[in-house]
């Protein structure tokens, strides 16, 4: 990782199936696609003080199949307003030179995907 990357991107790189960085003037956006059912995900717990409408164990069953309709509509409206309707149609154009949609090609070949948090801490 570069000096800008630091420990955070090493953690993302070890956990994510795919990830990328978009570097714009004044902001850097990091995205990651995490596997839905792996050992790390099973260790996560839902906070006990989570409100009932957000807690699938306490009646928020609509979250099991997606967002509540009003939240989904609100999210879509926000995405359309902020990102435009062409999101996804030209994502490769936003990547830096030499980077493409093949995420595997952008990962350091010497990177060990089996690193745990303690190992990542030592690398930082």
Q: What is the pLDDT of residues 34-61, one digit of tens each?
A: 776 666 666 666 666 666 665 555 444 4
CB atoms < 10 A from the CB of 16, how many? 19
Same domain (yes/no): 8, 40: yes
Whether 96 and 4 have beta carbons less than 8 Å apart is answered as no
Number of structural domains found in the chain = 2
| 105/33 Cα distance (integer angstroms) | 16
Q: Is residue 53 part of a domain?
A: no
**Higher-scoring residue by pLDDT: 66, 73:** 73
Range of the structural domain that residue 68 is part of: 59-123
The answer to whether residue 30 scores a pLDDT higher than 70 is yes
Calculate the alpha carbon distances from 40 to 77, 78, 93, 96 in Å. 32, 30, 33, 31
Give the pLDDT of residue 65.
45
**Higher-scoring residue by pLDDT: 16, 94:** 16
Q: Is residue 54 part of a domain?
A: no
pTM (two decimals):
0.29
Give the pLDDT of residue 21.
81
Same domain (yes/no): 65, 112: yes
**Higher-scoring residue by pLDDT: 53, 66:** 53
Give the pLDDT of residue 63.
43
As a whole-number percent, the residues of the chain with pLDDT over 90 amount to: 0
Q: Is residue 50 part of a domain?
A: no
Same domain (yes/no): 92, 65: yes
Cα angle for residues 74, 22, 15 (degrees, 5° grid)? 85
How remote is the C-alpha of 33 from its chain's centroid? 5
DSSP string of 10-45, one letter each residue: HHHHHH-SEEEEEEETTEEEEEEE--SSSHHHHH--
């Amino acid at each position: 990782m570069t000096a800008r990357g630091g420990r955070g991107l090493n953690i993302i790189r070890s956990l994510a199936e795919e990830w990328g960085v978009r570097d714009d003037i004044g902001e850097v956006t990091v995205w990651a696609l995490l596997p839905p059912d792996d050992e790390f995900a099973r260790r996560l717990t839902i906070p006990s003080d989570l409100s009932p409408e957000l807690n699938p164990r306490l009646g928020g069953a609509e979250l099991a199949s997606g967002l509540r309709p009003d939240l989904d509509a609100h999210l879509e409206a926000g995405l359309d307003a902020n990102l435009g309707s062409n999101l996804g149609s030209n994502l490769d154009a936003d990547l830096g030179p030499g980077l493409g949609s093949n995420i595997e090609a952008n990962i350091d070949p010497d990177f060990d995907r089996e690193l745990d948090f303690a190992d990542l801490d030592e690398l930082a």
